A and B are shown apart, each in its own frame.
Chain A
Amino acid sequence: MSFTKNLIEGTNFDHTNLNALQKVTLRAVVMAFLFYGLVAIEGMIMRMVEVGHSPLNPVPDQFFHPEHFFSIMTVHPIVGIFGSTYQLVFAAFMFLVPYLTKKPLYSIKLANCVWLLITIGTALAWIAAFVWNYAPLYTLYWPLPADTHQFKVVGGIVFVIGVALIMVGTLGFIYNIYATIFARVGVHKNKTTKELLISGFGVDGMLNLMNKLRGKQPYTKEPALALPVVAIFRGTVDTFLDAIVILAAGILILVYLVFDASGNALDVTAVDALLYKNFFWWGLDLVADGLVLIYVAGSWYLLATLITGQKLFMENVARAALMLELLVSWMVWSHHLLGDQGQPEMMKLISGEMVTAFELLTQGLALFITLVTLWKARPLKMTMELKYLLGGLVGFGLAVPAAIIQADMGMNRVLHNTQWIIGAHVHIALIVGLYMTLYSALYVLWPLVTNNTKLYSSKLSNAHFWLHLIGGIGMGAFMGMAGLDGMLRRHLYVDGQFNPDMVFAAIFGSMLLLAWIIFLYNIVMSVGVKGLIGIFLPAKDKTASYGIEEELEPADDPAFAN
């Protein structure tokens, strides 16, 4: 097939054969990867600024200006975490929950609203920074977001509306997921809400364990919900709480900005900065320590069972651990406040150090269970999904201890707010740990979501894998080393003070960018431009499930109300 024909037609992808669930999944995936590219470009711009002025540096002078630099730094995590990661995770779970529970998704219309709201919201937040240089950073430390001496009110209002839309979209996702899980149709026709709740919280796993220890029969041999669905259920609790906290912070900022615009500025000291930090970090930390870790653990379990075709090792322990992680994730936020001298010492010790260290156990357990499940099924073919899964395990194997090390009153004094935490922990956790897990899921789900579309090139897939893995680890490592050398994470350096660390970080960062281009090229050549457009056209087949007999969407099903 010629290049042009391949580019237009793809391999054997036919968008007209996709059902509504497949299409809505692919729409969110497409947006997620477009936002990922934007994030990679933003990251490279910031990295090149930190390399410093040089005749070889292609970045225009305007990016070295603080307003511009910090505008990029503000939207970088918004686009990366919400525009890309949230969309990708939500897309995967809106497909997987119906697939695993063998029930239709509650509402395709709502699923469409979710990706649209998150896309529009992310775009608005980006525009607020690009047009009006609104740059309070994602931390939104009070009262900076309401500081109208530094920022234009209109920029702030557009930014808050953007983030609020993302959160409303998130709430839509949550509703859709829970409505699907609790729908008493199909295999759950005879299940009660109580049974589904017990299973969702992992209580059945804990009761099975206790009964085993007491020599009794298991509480249930067939839990109501599959383990990955339990992880999705559990992680979504934290997603909900996080959305509420961010929405509340947004309303607070909006009230101050609107009053300021009306000429009746409110007193910003009415809100205690440290209390606000506690409230905000409690919610924001649920993204990292609740949502990501739990969703990732669930994804590992699912991938390990799908790749090996075998039952998960120690499934009851895994179920119980997910319940434990629920409690742990609610009590760890103080590790972000170890540098705040007004924070009570006991909170630093208990929440910031001791409970946070528990994450080593919960994540370590997920790692152990996944590895043993894989090991017991050997020999395995080194498929793309297995490669990416191992990459994801390496990512979290590196990133979680990097954070635990810093969640310590001694270490935090010299590492807080440095590039260590954003490089060695956050970027390795997200780029290597989370994204490689998601790529693994993508390769597993690809035949299901695209009706067995042939991938254009496995060589390109391999090139993407190695560039992403080496680029991600390398960039995070050199950012981390710069942090140990004293480089701050939310600071502007224009003279290359932390070279050669930043030069190496930029080289590895460009590998990540190249990896994304290769991946995108491979996908476009597989589905074709026609197919890509077709994904966004209405589906003729309105089926909201995959792999089961055609059923009505529960939202349209009169039986659903009963």
Chain B
Amino acid sequence: MTFSNSAELLSFHWVAYSIYAAMIISVVAWFGYNLTRKEAKSVFRIPFYWYMAFLVAGGVGHHIFTYNTIPWVSQDIDRHNITPDAKYEFEIEDHKWINLPKKITIQCGETVEFDVHSRDLVYGFGLFRKDGSMVMQMQVNPGTDINGILDSNDILWTFHHNGLFDLTSTEYSGPDEYSEDGEDLMLVKDFVEVVGCENGGAK
């Protein structure tokens, strides 16, 4: 099992957590009801060590599961040893994108590096689908090295689905990001287009 993009992961997560939430609410409700009954007997006994083992398995297993099913985890850890198919580097200053290409077209399955620098504040870099759901994001911290070169905030991403994605800052950087009417001035519509995937899905 592998999630080919974040939309699949989010759908899976929605279902899994909803089931868990319904379960924990039901268990405590059942527990509360039985607390008031003298004749209530334990339906099942949970030995303490098994319970703790279950929690350990849950905590560790979650990370093992995501490492093996979400492709961007290992790619992120190892990103400095991976040569991207394309690299885009730009800056942000005073809530404006600088040197930003008008539009980026990416072929299906290509791995792209985005390297974003901030000249003043903490911003974010996030791509969003047309339905508003998030493709991915990272924080963009300001800062320079001892030679005055702006710090990198780099992310590798492999695109497996066709789509047209909007860009905006995912971190709050003050009210100046918006117009008086609340329009997001850092929103760049149709910034990324992914093409070439068969039937729009994974190649």
Point out residues on A near B: beta carbons under 8 Å. 64-67, 69-70, 133, 135-137, 139, 141-144, 147, 149-151, 269, 272-274, 277, 314, 337, 339-342, 345, 349, 353-354, 357-358, 360-361, 364-365, 368, 371, 374-375, 378-382, 386-387, 390, 393-394, 397-398, 401-402, 404-405, 408-411, 413-414, 416-418, 424, 473, 477, 480-481, 484-488, 490-494, 497-498
Least CB distance from A381 to B in Å reads 7
Which residues does chain B contribute within 8 Å of A144, judged by CB atoms?
121-122, 172-174
A24→B89 CA distance, assembly (Å): 59
Q: Interface residue tally of chain B, by bracket?
A: 35 or more
Is there an interface contact between A66 and B182, defined as CB atoms closer than 8 Å? Answer: yes
Is there an interface contact between A364 and B63, defined as CB atoms closer than 8 Å? Answer: no
Contact of B24 among A273, A387, A398 (CB under 8 A): A398
Which residues does chain B contribute within 8 Å of A143, judged by CB atoms?
120-121, 142
Least CB distance from B156 to A in Å reads 10
A274→B73 CA distance, assembly (Å): 21
Q: Is B103 an interface residue (CB 8 A)?
A: no
Can you add 14 more A-B contacts, CB < 8 Å, to A410-B73, A493-B182? A64-B182, A66-B176, A67-B175, A69-B182, A314-B48, A342-B151, A357-B60, A358-B59, A386-B32, A390-B32, A405-B17, A409-B76, A411-B9, A491-B170
Is there an interface contact between B141 and A273, defined as CB atoms closer than 8 Å? Answer: yes
Q: Is B159 an interface residue (CB 8 A)?
A: no
Interface string of B16-33 (1 = CB under 8 A from A): 010011001100100110
**CB-defined A-B contacts under 8 Å, sample of 6:** A274-B141, A342-B152, A349-B77, A360-B58, A397-B24, A405-B62
B36, B138, B182: residue with the most chain A Cβ atoms closer than 10 Å? B182
A485→B11 CA distance, assembly (Å): 9
Which residues does chain A contribute within 8 Å of B9, judged by CB atoms?
410-411, 414
The 5 closest A-B pairs by CB, nearest first: A357-B59, A410-B70, A494-B182, A490-B172, A66-B175
A358→B181 CA distance, assembly (Å): 45
Interface string of B135-148 (1 = CB under 8 A from A): 11111011110000
Which residues does chain B contribute within 8 Å of A381, judged by CB atoms?
36
Which residues does chain B contribute within 8 Å of A368, judged by CB atoms?
48, 51
Is there an interface contact between B172 and A137, defined as CB atoms closer than 8 Å? Answer: yes
Which residues does chain B contribute within 8 Å of A133, judged by CB atoms?
175
Is there an interface contact between A341 and B139, defined as CB atoms closer than 8 Å? Answer: yes
Contact of B143 among A272, A358, A371, A480 (CB under 8 A): A272
Contact of A273 among B135, B143, B154 (CB under 8 A): B143
Q: Is B88 an interface residue (CB 8 A)?
A: no
Is there an interface contact between B129 and A491, defined as CB atoms closer than 8 Å? Answer: no
Q: Is B90 an interface residue (CB 8 A)?
A: no
Query: Interface on chain B toward A: helix, strand, loop, or mixed SS?
Result: mixed
A413→B158 CA distance, assembly (Å): 13
Is there an interface contact between A413 and B38, defined as CB atoms closer than 8 Å? Answer: no
Q: Is B6 an interface residue (CB 8 A)?
A: yes
The total of Cβ contacts below 8 Å across the A-B interface reads 221
Interface string of B169-187 (1 = CB under 8 A from A): 0111111111111101000
Contact of A490 among B13, B40, B67, B171 (CB under 8 A): B171
A137→B32 CA distance, assembly (Å): 39
Given the interface pairs A371-B31, A394-B25, A487-B132, the reply to whether A411 lies near B66 with Cβ below 8 Å is yes
Q: Is B44 an interface residue (CB 8 A)?
A: no
A149→B95 CA distance, assembly (Å): 12
Contact of A141 among B36, B38, B171, B180 (CB under 8 A): B171
Is there an interface contact between B141 and A379, defined as CB atoms closer than 8 Å? Answer: no
Given the interface pairs A64-B182, A360-B55, A414-B6, the reply to whether A485 lies near B176 with Cβ below 8 Å is no
Least CB distance from A20 to B in Å reads 38
Which residue of chain A has the shortest Cβ distance to B114 in the bound complex? Answer: A341
Contact of A135 among B55, B60, B120, B175 (CB under 8 A): B175
Which residues does chain A contribute within 8 Å of B173, judged by CB atoms?
144
Contact of B77 among A69, A374, A409 (CB under 8 A): A409
Is there an interface contact between B141 and A354, defined as CB atoms closer than 8 Å? Answer: no
A133→B174 CA distance, assembly (Å): 11
Is there an interface contact between B62 and A408, defined as CB atoms closer than 8 Å? Answer: yes
Which residue of chain A has the shortest Cβ distance to B170 in the bound complex? Answer: A417
Is there an interface contact between B174 and A150, defined as CB atoms closer than 8 Å? Answer: yes
Least CB distance from A483 to B in Å reads 9
Which residues does chain B contribute within 8 Å of A394, judged by CB atoms?
24-25, 28
Least CB distance from B178 to A in Å reads 4
A340→B142 CA distance, assembly (Å): 11
Q: Is B133 an interface residue (CB 8 A)?
A: yes
Which residues does chain A contribute within 8 Å of B35, judged by CB atoms?
374-375, 378-380, 382, 386
Given the interface pairs A361-B56, A409-B77, the reply to whether A136 lies near B174 with Cβ below 8 Å is yes
Is there an interface contact between B172 and A401, defined as CB atoms closer than 8 Å? Answer: no
B42, B129, B139: residue with the most chain A Cβ atoms closer than 10 Å? B139
Given the interface pairs A143-B121, A382-B32, A390-B32, the reply to whether A486 lies near B128 with Cβ below 8 Å is yes
Which residues does chain A contribute within 8 Å of B128, judged by CB atoms?
486
Is there an interface contact between B137 and A485, defined as CB atoms closer than 8 Å? Answer: no
Least CB distance from A385 to B in Å reads 13
Which residues does chain A contribute within 8 Å of B6, judged by CB atoms?
413-414
Is there an interface contact between B174 and A339, defined as CB atoms closer than 8 Å? Answer: no
Which residues does chain A contribute within 8 Å of B14, judged by CB atoms?
481, 484
Which residues does chain A contribute within 8 Å of B132, judged by CB atoms?
485-487, 497-498
Q: Is B202 an interface residue (CB 8 A)?
A: no
Given the interface pairs A380-B36, A394-B25, the reply to whether A150 lies near B172 with Cβ below 8 Å is no
Which residues does chain B contribute within 8 Å of A410, judged by CB atoms?
9, 66-67, 69-70, 72-73
Which residues does chain B contribute within 8 Å of A151, judged by CB atoms?
174
Which residues does chain A contribute within 8 Å of B184, judged by CB atoms?
491-492
Which residues does chain A contribute within 8 Å of B112, judged by CB atoms?
none
Given the interface pairs A277-B141, A365-B52, the reply to whether A353 lies near B63 with Cβ below 8 Å is yes
Is there an interface contact between B76 and A401, defined as CB atoms closer than 8 Å? Answer: no
Which residues does chain A contribute within 8 Å of B66, judged by CB atoms?
408-411
Least CB distance from A23 to B in Å reads 35
Q: Is B153 an interface residue (CB 8 A)?
A: yes
Which residue of chain B has the shortest Cβ distance to A73 in the bound complex? Answer: B172
Which residue of chain B has the shortest Cβ distance to A489 in the bound complex? Answer: B172
Which residues does chain A contribute within 8 Å of B129, judged by CB atoms?
486
Is there an interface contact between A341 and B175, defined as CB atoms closer than 8 Å? Answer: no
Which residues does chain A contribute within 8 Å of B134, judged by CB atoms?
414, 418, 486
Which chain B residues (102-134) contact chain A, with CB distance < 8 Å?
120-122, 124, 126, 128-129, 131-134
A512→B142 CA distance, assembly (Å): 39
Which residues does chain B contribute within 8 Å of A358, judged by CB atoms?
59
Given the interface pairs A394-B25, A410-B66, the reply to whether A341 lies near B178 with Cβ below 8 Å is no
A56→B132 CA distance, assembly (Å): 24
Which residues does chain A contribute within 8 Å of B37, judged by CB atoms?
378-379
